[in-house]
Structure 1
Amino acid sequence: MQHTKPLDLLGIDLPIVQAPMAGVSSPAMAAATSNAGALGSIGVGALDAQAARTMIEAVRTATSASFNVNLFCHAPARSRPDAEREWIDRLQPEFAALDAKAPERLTEIYRSFVIDEDMLAMLLEERPPVVSFHFGLPTPGAIRALRDAGITLIATATNLAEARAIEAAELDAIVAQGWEAGGHRGCFDPDASDEALGTMALTRLLVQRTRLPVIAAGGIMDGAGIAAALKLGAVATQLGTAFVGCDEGLADDGYREALTAAAGTVMTRVISGRPARCLANRFTAMGSNIPDAAVPDYPVAYDVGKALNAAAKARGIYGFGAQWAGQGAPLARSLPVTGLVQTLAQELAEAQT
């Protein structure tokens, strides 16, 4: 099925996927994107099955078009009590400066879809049109059940080996996530050496070396970027940072202001425990000299990271947030979703003439 009507596979008219940004992409954002002819997405990896069902129902209330539901497939965190205690102690001065108390212990705040049978049962009942995976793949049994339910399945790859694993698992498409991309790296093993392939090189590599349709992701902010990825053989593009400033999103005021003033991004694991590209802020600066091995596993590290951000926000300080953004952040625009999608489509048409 190489590149055979891939947009029909996704149920869209435009080669644009709004990235499933957990904590930012709301049902309203996803529905507006889908209604505009692109693929809207919600990220439910940080939710339990009932909360995820509620989000899916909210999207369905606002659109009859196709949409995507994204899950996290990370390996469950290892218990590292000493490292976790040391991590809390390391951040204690930051809490003290905010007149706040650090957590006494850390917990695994998100459950991986790999072991979440309730989430799988819910998806089989709700049958969203598209389901996507980040950080790896679910079990073969889960893939088989979702495929048998008629759901289109896609997953993120950051290199050729991961793409070939997705192909071997018989999914329908691959998201080629370049080094430029904002948010969490989709790498299957966060401790393995990262090839750090850029979006365009990775896209071309996967187009040539795999049989599945490729969706390019990372640093794409306008129609010219979309056109460039399509020319390299991608069937569609996934944009996240471009949507962060949209009215329908859940980004807080500090995140939006930081995006508007974006001076650069940093790849860091200190916020969550996995490598992720973030706007340079107080948290990334604090973590610039901390070795990866000192950071607890994802999402255990995120437990204290979220607590520190909450304490800071309560005092009007936004510099400890997970302000995920790609290298194209300076090109971000603040528009309603419909206006952004229409602008992207117009720019794409102009770039292709």
Structure 2
Amino acid sequence: MTTFLKRLGMRCPVIQAPMAGTSTPALALEVMKAGGLGSIALGAVNAEAGRKLIREMKSGTDKPFNVNLFCHAPAERDAAREARWLEALAPRFQVFGAEPPVELNEIYRSFVEDDAMADMLEEERPAIVSFHFGLPKAEQIARFKAAGTFLIASATCVEEAHAAVAAGMDAVVAQGYEAGGHRGIFDPATGDEKLPTFTLVQLLVRALNVPVIAAGGIMTGRGIAACLDLGAAAVQMGTAFIACPESAADPAHRSAVLGARAGHTLVTDTISGRPARCIVNEFTALGQDLAGQGQCPASYPVAYDAGKALNMAAKAAGNTGYGAQWAGQGAPLARALPALELVELLMREYEAARGG
């Protein structure tokens, strides 16, 4: 076992990705029973809800677990742009006998401006904290460092990874373009290099002096072995756990991951206002149509308010094709197993791949 794994309390190199809307304390705890690192997502909740999740984890384990936060730039509100987006979506709402919201809200607060979340975390003192979409403010990082917290940030390119290490991160997640869910790009306006996992891992291992965690398209023990052979210290897996009974994925999301559409994903900003990889469905098709008409979604996470409302209207009418069915390109390899059994299977596959 490497020093990195020991420090994080892991017996095997599997980190369960903290996918908002999918990860749960129950899922994280089962992964930890198998020797991996469990994670919970706080990016979509407020401080008190986050405290409840952390305490649920503490009641189930005395081992370190990961708490994930969103560090996106706060939304740039543009009333005209938001009105145009609602107008563009209105005909689809009407198909389901509903009206779009009168106005949109910024439904997720970025950690960079959430003092209540920072205070709560200082009180609860989670051992590991990870960041997506960017980095916290220097003073927030200093508070974590003073508490001895192990810090991790996701990066989609070498420049972001260097910024993460310079800011004080103890490890970096190399998020390949194959990954499901939201791209961790610090600033979507600068574009996406779309680096695949294997390429990005090798670049970061060469460029950084901290552990690199591979993420994106990893679904089997053979994939884990390949990433570690390239120099990764561990792997982070999200899509692999969506079909586990402990996940919070709804039936439509599970069905999509395990069904014929699983092999067809694309990166879209239609659902949330920020690029994210999703299984193709009626919402992604609508997004392509609207993009062809020159329509631009509201900024993240304001557009997500509209996306969630449209999904609710569709589901009320019996249509499940408008959900955020986030999944990576490896989705066809998903197994519907309890999380503990899945990690144990992954480790058997890993040992077999290593010739053990």
TM class by smaller structure: over 0.9
Match of 1:120 in 2: 118
Task: Find the residue that maps to 1:60 and give its secondary structure.
Answer: helix
Match of 1:73 in 2: 71
Match of 1:218 in 2: 216
Q: CA deviation at 1:4?
A: 7.0
Match of 2:280 in 1: 280
Match of 1:264 in 2: 264
Amino acid at match of 1:298: Y
Match of 1:105 in 2: 103
Is 1:165 the counterpart of 2:163? The answer is yes
Deviations 1:164-223 (A, max 9, x none): 001101211000000000000000001112110000000000000111100000000010
5 Å-filtered alignment, 1:239-258, equals 239-258=237-256
Equivalent-residue separation in structure 1 for 2:229 and 2:318 (angstroms):
45
5 Å-filtered alignment, 1:201-350, equals 201-261=199-259, 262-291=262-291, 294-350=296-352
Q: CA deviation at 1:289?
A: 3.9
Segments ≥4 residues shifted beyond 6 Å: none
Match of 1:39 in 2: 37
Equivalent-residue separation in structure 2 for 1:68 and 1:75 (angstroms):
22
Kept in 2, the 8 Å contact 1:35–1:65? The answer is: no
Task: Find the residue that maps to 2:154 and give its secondary structure.
Answer: strand
Deviations 1:62-94 (A, max 9, x none): 222221110000000001111100100111111
Q: CA deviation at 1:142?
A: 0.4
Match of 1:51 in 2: 49
Equivalent-residue separation in structure 1 for 2:204 and 2:141 (angstroms):
21
Equivalent-residue separation in structure 2 for 1:319 and 1:125 (angstroms):
41
RMSD, matched Cα:
1.3
Kept in 1, the 8 Å contact 2:263–2:330? The answer is: no
Amino acid at match of 2:76: R
Task: Find the residue that maps to 1:191 and give its secondary structure.
Answer: helix
Equivalent-residue separation in structure 2 for 1:304 and 1:12 (angstroms):
40
Equivalent-residue separation in structure 2 for 1:350 and 1:107 (angstroms):
50
Task: Find the residue that maps to 1:294 and give its secondary structure.
Answer: coil
Amino acid at match of 1:267: V
Corresponding pairs, count: 351
Amino acid at match of 2:208: T
Match of 1:130 in 2: 128
Q: CA deviation at 1:293?
A: 7.1
TM-score, length of structure 2 as denominator length: 0.97
Amino acid at match of 2:286: M
**Percent of paired sites with the same residue:** 54
Equivalent-residue separation in structure 2 for 1:13 and 1:55 (angstroms):
24
Amino acid at match of 1:314: A
Q: CA deviation at 1:315?
A: 2.5
Question: Runs of 5+ in structure 2 lacking a partner?
Answer: none
Q: CA deviation at 1:42?
A: 0.8
Task: Find the residue that maps to 2:109 and give its secondary structure.
Answer: coil
Amino acid at match of 2:269: R
Amino acid at match of 1:162: E
Q: CA deviation at 1:318?
A: 1.1
Amino acid at match of 1:274: R
Match of 2:20 in 1: 22
Deviations 1:270-321 (A, max 9, x none): 0000000000001001111444871111000000100111111223321100
Equivalent-residue separation in structure 2 for 1:224 and 1:36 (angstroms):
18
Equivalent-residue separation in structure 2 for 1:330 and 1:321 (angstroms):
19
Deviations 1:303-347 (A, max 9, x none): 010011111122332110010000000000100010001001111
Question: Runs of 5+ in structure 1 lacking a partner?
Answer: none
Kept in 2, the 8 Å contact 1:24–1:250? The answer is: yes
Q: Give the counterpart of 1:7 among 5, 8, 28.
A: 5
Equivalent-residue separation in structure 1 for 2:219 and 2:126 (angstroms):
27
